[in-house]
Amino acid sequence: MYVKVRFVGHPDVVIPVDSMLTKIEEFRLIILDKFKVQPERQHLIYSGKLLEDGYTFYDYNIRLNNVIQLIEKSLPGETKNSQATTKEVEKEEPNEEKIEYEDAISTFYKVGDLVDARESEGYWSEGKITRIVSDPKEQDNVSSNNSDVEDISNENILYQVTFDNNPDDPVFCKPSDVRPRARKVISPGDLKAGQTVMINFNLDKPGEVGYWYDFKVEQILKMKRTYNLIGTLYLGLESVPQNDTKVQVKDKIFAIEKPIPLEERSQEYIKKTSVAPPKRSSPFLCDKCRDDRDVDCKYCGCYTCAGKESPDEILLCDECEHGFHMKCLVPPLTAVPDDDWYCADCKRDVNDVVAPGAAQQAKKARAGPGRDWGRGMACVGRTKDSDMPADHFGPIPGIEVGMSWLYRIQVSETGLHRPSVAGIHGRANVGAFSIVLSGGYEDDVDNGNEFTYTGSGGRDLSGNKRTAGQSCDQEFSRSNQALACNCAAPLNPKGADAGAKWRDGKPVRVLRSVKMMKVSKYAPKEGIRYDGIYKVVKYYAEKGLAGFQVYKYHLRRDDPNPAPWEKKAKKYPIEYPDGYLEAKMKKDAGKQTLKTLLTSNDDADVSKSSDSLDNTISDITNTDSNRTRKRKRSMDDETKENDESEPIAKKASVLTSNSSQETLSLTEDEQNAINTDQKNAKLWQECLKINESRTKFIDQVQQVFRCIICQGLAISPVTTPCLHNFCLNCIKRAFKVTDSKSCPCCRQSLADFEITKNTHLMGALRIFLPGYDAAQK
């Protein structure tokens, strides 16, 4: 792994590190070796965060090729002598620049040779040798009696190279960073494993043209139109190897030229190397116009007129770094400003700066009585989600016909009907999974086992409206088309009838809302109730009561369980949100107590009312949180029930008795599925202890057999020797990431464990929760 370090006044340097577990204090020592900046003076910043000792690259999410900013700070004791220190630096700077180089002679190169030189970022660029000097660091080892021009070993030589892409800034390079200009092109089909070549690669955007790096080929993959190479990429001045790098061939592949001593050069070689080969490709300076001078571009030209003419008259904003012609500014400028310059969008007036929070307070003052966003559960979100797939047709395991909930958001959490507002849940080309009858359209006709349902649309709901009158024709798309897909007849925008084959259609879960009471006697008296599975018999388009075209769907019940309005149907208490009863009773009891306090003048009555409120709230809290808990009842409890809290206790006791009457009964196939899964026998016994209702049993199964990694029901479950269950893909991914085979839950060693699916558990889960893994196989 490697990262880039950016230091003001220095080019970006590629620094190799061991891994993401490298500590910050260890990285400071590498910085000391590269930049000669003491650790206590180093300010390391990444992504706006100051890197502190004691943490690792992993803690800051520092990844491959990320840039770390280095800022040299002054120590506290040096602040007093800052002026003196600045003067000393100013005095030292001229001495640093006055390095005297002595000319030298190389046995391999001469001035004017065309070469490839390695830049500080580690890639190779085209250039020309303009001077050969001896290395000043090695001059002390050379005898002072030598002549003015010395012939020393190549290890003590520096080559001054002028790059073709930056001729105004020559750079001194070591002999290891210079080699003859690459000329020989190799076809990808002629490459061999183990061969080192020079290829084009973009570190930031692998699919785009980049710079030229050395690459050792290990594997060659032929694709339809190109080749993919897998091997080792060498980065940085120290040629840091990046193993198992995959490179798609986007450009030519060059052979690495070896230097030939000057004495061995033939006339043919001299003539050949004196002519520069065609210029190699390089990354675009501007990705928008791809460096096309004939195309106007505001990103590399003037941000106002997008022109690229007169580059010497373009000013760069010190904030956004966009360029602007001085003549395009308002008002135009005639000279380059001496200080920092900001464009109109980045410039800030000091008078416009407000105190923290002032703008928010002003906004609140202007708000006034705005729109009514609804009350109660109008804007609440889901606190949990169903384990069943969103595109599941048919019943939801554990949900029985006749169950009801107070709010739509509770129904959404069960997976019966996921939208919290829309009446149809489906996909246009797949089908409808569920619908809710709430009496929103005047064309709805409900006869219990059969009903006519009106499609959606044709209403203007702008302005955050929940409903409105019919104002246009409905369209055969989205939800309307989805519900039509459930019919066992070919899809037709004009309508279709399945006839006698109506049972072959896709099932639709049907729920009725209390809002339906105004038009139907089959609606529940409170909340939303699940009424079972229906099938679409036919659908058609006709003019509705409002005078606009609507789509009507005739649905017929096809559920083996009795309907909630039938005598044989089971009766279920309505489900309230967690803490709802406690909050409601507190509110009602508080109102009653407040009324008593206002109408009573006797201190004893006030004390008695206050005690009654405390006792009532205590009873409600115990009843709401522990409906199924059995405890011994005392005479005090009996007395309290007969006081003012009697209606409340009676309601709670009814809920408790209804739920306790239900008992769990399993079919023969379900019992056999449990018995075959011997690995999880203990866990199944825990689930069977919930002998109250099938719904609670299914909930317990969903909790016990969750994958510890993804927190969802185990898909293709794997049971470890330590009796923990995981998804097959989850545990494979965990082993790959950690490079160690241990249980992600208890850390027990699984070195000898072979990952295999527990088919018995998978079969049992599919019996109790049919279709739970259909969308994730």
Q: Is-contact 136 99, C-beta < 8 A?
A: yes
Q: Residue 378 above 90 pLDDT?
A: no
CATH of 404-459+467-557, picked from 2.30.280.10, 2.60.120.1060, 2.40.50.140, 1.10.150.110, is 2.30.280.10
Measured distance CA(565)–CA(568) in Å, rounded: 9
- pLDDT confidence tier of residue 442, bands split at 50, 70 and 90: confident
Weakest-pLDDT range from 332-341, 348-357, 663-672: 348-357
Weakest-pLDDT range from 18-27, 467-476, 586-595: 586-595
- pLDDT confidence tier of residue 486, bands split at 50, 70 and 90: very high
Range(s) within the chain of domains with CATH label 2.30.30.30 = 185-255
**What is the model's pLDDT at position 612?**
52
**What is the model's pLDDT at position 638?**
43
Average pLDDT of the segment spanning 384-391:
78
Range(s) within the chain of domains with CATH label 2.30.280.10 = 404-459+467-557
Measured distance CA(215)–CA(232) in Å, rounded: 6
**What is the model's pLDDT at position 231?**
93
Q: Is-contact 241 227, C-beta < 8 A?
A: no
- pLDDT confidence tier of residue 66, bands split at 50, 70 and 90: confident
Residues of the chain above pLDDT 90, percent:
19
**What is the model's pLDDT at position 384?**
73
Tens-digit pLDDT profile for residues 81-112: 444 444 444 444 444 456 778 888 888 999 99
Dig out the tokens for 435 from the structure: 């619908």
Higher pLDDT, 326 or 81: 326
- Coil, strand or helix at 499: helix
Higher pLDDT, 369 or 19: 19
Range(s) within the chain of domains with CATH label 2.30.30.140 = 114-180+259-273
Q: Report phi then psi at 361, rounded to 5.
A: -65, -40
Q: Residue 511 above 90 pLDDT?
A: yes
**What is the model's pLDDT at position 149?**
38
**What is the model's pLDDT at position 351?**
58
**What is the model's pLDDT at position 742?**
86
**What is the model's pLDDT at position 81?**
45
Provide CB contacts within 8 A for 447, sequence distance 6+.
522
- pLDDT confidence tier of residue 148, bands split at 50, 70 and 90: very low
- pLDDT confidence tier of residue 775, bands split at 50, 70 and 90: low
Query: Counting beta carbons within 10 angstroms of the beta carbon of residue 465, is it exposed (0 to 12), middle (13 to 18) or buried (19 or more)?
Result: exposed
Q: Residue 305 above 70 pLDDT?
A: yes
Range(s) within the chain of domains with CATH label 3.10.20.90 = 2-76
Higher pLDDT, 719 or 708: 719
Weakest-pLDDT range from 465-479, 493-507, 596-610, 699-713: 596-610
**What is the model's pLDDT at position 144?**
41
**What is the model's pLDDT at position 357?**
53
Q: Where are the beta strands (DSSP E) in 367-518?
A: 404-405, 424-427, 431-437, 445-446, 450-454, 495-497, 508-513
Average pLDDT of the segment spanning 563-571:
88
**What is the model's pLDDT at position 772?**
75
- pLDDT confidence tier of residue 147, bands split at 50, 70 and 90: very low
Measured distance CA(112)–CA(360) in Å, rounded: 67
**What is the model's pLDDT at position 597?**
59
- pLDDT confidence tier of residue 414, bands split at 50, 70 and 90: confident
Q: Residue 146 above 50 pLDDT?
A: no
Measured distance CA(666)–CA(203) in Å, rounded: 60
What does the angle CA 101 – CA 106 – CA 112 come to, to the nearest 5 degrees?
Answer: 85
Measured distance CA(707)–CA(762) in Å, rounded: 13
Q: Residue 151 above 50 pLDDT?
A: no
CATH of domain 293-346: 3.30.40.10
Q: Is-contact 484 537, C-beta < 8 A?
A: no
Class of domain 185-255: mainly beta
Class of domain 2-76: alpha beta
Q: Where are the alpha helices (DSSP H) in 284-416?
A: 358-367, 408-414
Range(s) within the chain of domains with CATH label 3.30.40.10 = 293-346, 668-768
Of the ranges 140-144, 165-169, 636-640, 670-674, the best mean pLDDT one = 670-674
Class of domain 668-768: alpha beta
| H, E, C per residue of 55-117 | CECCCCCCCCCCEEEEEECCCHHHCCCHHHHHHHHHHHHHHHHCCCCCEECCCCCCCCCEEEE
The pTM of the full predicted model, rounded to 2 decimals, is 0.44
Higher pLDDT, 127 or 740: 127
Omega of the bond leading into 493 within 30 degrees of 0 (cis): no
Question: Within 10 Å of residue 481's Cβ, how many Cβ atoms?
Answer: 21
Of 161, 174, 107, nearest to 131 (Cα)? 161
Weakest-pLDDT range from 454-463, 469-478, 615-624: 615-624
Question: Within 10 Å of residue 620's Cβ, how many Cβ atoms?
Answer: 23
**What is the model's pLDDT at position 618?**
53
Q: Residue 362 above 80 pLDDT?
A: no
**Residue carrying the six token digits 């090695």:** 138
Tens-digit pLDDT profile for residues 651-674: 333 333 344 455 677 888 888 989
Q: Which amino acid is at 98?
A: K
CATH topology of domain 114-180+259-273: SH3 type barrels. (2.30.30)
Average pLDDT of the chain to the nearest whole number? 79
Average pLDDT of the segment spanning 453-470:
76
**What is the model's pLDDT at position 450?**
93
Tens-digit pLDDT profile for residues 227-257: 989 999 888 777 888 888 889 888 899 999 9
Tens-digit pLDDT profile for residues 174-230: 888 999 999 999 998 889 999 999 999 988 887 788 899 999 999 999 888 889 899
Weakest-pLDDT range from 144-158, 321-335, 743-757: 144-158
Q: Residue 402 above 60 pLDDT?
A: yes
Provide CB contacts within 8 A for 460, sequence distance 6+.
468, 471, 472
Measured distance CA(96)–CA(87) in Å, rounded: 15
Average pLDDT of the segment spanning 413-418:
88
Of 703, 623, 622, nearest to 384 (Cα)? 703
**What is the model's pLDDT at position 619?**
54
Quote the crossing angle between the two packed helices 580-599 and 603-625, to the nearest 10°. 170
Question: Within 10 Å of residue 714's Cβ, how many Cβ atoms?
Answer: 27
Measured distance CA(668)–CA(383) in Å, rounded: 35
Tens-digit pLDDT profile for residues 676-687: 999 999 899 888
**What is the model's pLDDT at position 400?**
86
Weakest-pLDDT range from 309-313, 441-445, 597-601, 681-685: 597-601
In residues, how long is the chain?
777
Q: Residue 316 above 70 pLDDT?
A: yes
**What is the model's pLDDT at position 641?**
44
